[in-house]
Amino acid sequence: SVYRQMQGADYARVESMEQITAALRAEAKATEAAAQASEQARAALAQANGVIASFLDNMSHELRTPLNAIIGFSELIHSELFGAMANEKYREYAGDILGSGQNLLELVNNLLYFSRLSAGKISMNLDDFDAPDLLHRVADAERKKAETARVDIIVDVAGKPILAADPNAATRLLSGLLDNAIKFSKPGGKIILQARQRSDGACEISLNDTGAGIPESELQDIFAPFVKGKNSERDAMPGTGMGLATAKMLMDLHGGSVSIDSVEGEGTNVTLVFPAQQAGRAEVRAA
């Protein structure tokens, strides 16, 4: 009787182990299937992103060709190169076409750059240069637009902080941020550009404006591509919502960071931190 009881217990343990083993095998198969599905999803997403990037690239090129012609001919007409026009309205309309064409070309160029950046086709060639020179060049380039908007641009830099960055990317980055600040500033407002060298060798650049500001509810998604805030939508501001997304991607490529502090109705402060250049970081390419 005791032997039969022990034998029955052994059978029960074996059966239990077989059930556990079967459950573990089923779980392993499910995990493997989930991993395969995840890998397939990632591959499909990568392929879709590649198709989108290629489409945007091609469309941008196709749009730029006729746009350049429109801009060139409207500029020729507006300047009355071949003689004065009898009606001043024609010259005014040519100016409107020229301005609209230039704005549209800027949007297309930004879209093309963003698609290339997203596809990993933009590389960074890092170099050391004076941050104040960059700030003054960017401010001078945007000065006319700021004067039209009746906004003051102030460059306030103590000393000569050194910036380790790709010159072209840094110029595009700061120009975009300054253009954004001008766009959302009211007449009589001001924008202050500052730069300083931190103790760790990093260069910190900030843009502080007294514009419309950003609602707190929008700050968490501020760097997402193609996202426009309620102020942009309400005031019908031109743009595609790529500016801050591009800035974030460029700062990531530099190994730096970008942060935004803002109070709606009071203004916005954007802070960029470029790390000190390190050996082996002379060229960086988007992944």
Q: Please, which pLDDT band fits residue 103 given cuts at 50, 70 and 90?
A: confident
Q: How many CB atoms lie within 10 A of CB 24?
A: 10
Residues 6+ apart with CB under 8 A from 170: 134, 163, 274
Polymer length in residues for the chain: 287
CA nearest 145: which of 175, 169, 173, 108? 175
Tell me the pairing of strands 152-157 and 190-197: parallel
CA distance 146 to 141: 10
CA nearest 244: which of 160, 154, 171, 180? 180
CA distance 7 to 214: 75
| Start-end of H helices in the chain | 2-78, 88-118, 131-148, 167-183, 230-235, 243-253
pLDDT tens by residue, 122-178: 888 889 999 999 999 999 999 999 999 999 999 998 888 999 999 999 999 999 999
- Beta pairing partners, 270: 207, 260
Q: What letter does residue 241 receive in the DSSP assignment?
A: S
pLDDT tens by residue, 223-257: 887 766 665 545 445 556 688 889 999 999 999 99
Q: How many CB atoms lie within 10 A of CB 265?
A: 10
Q: Please, which pLDDT band fits residue 109 given cuts at 50, 70 and 90?
A: confident
What is the pTM for the complete model shown? 0.70
CA distance 94 to 73: 9
pLDDT tens by residue, 50-62: 666 677 667 767 7
Q: Please, which pLDDT band fits residue 10 given cuts at 50, 70 and 90?
A: low
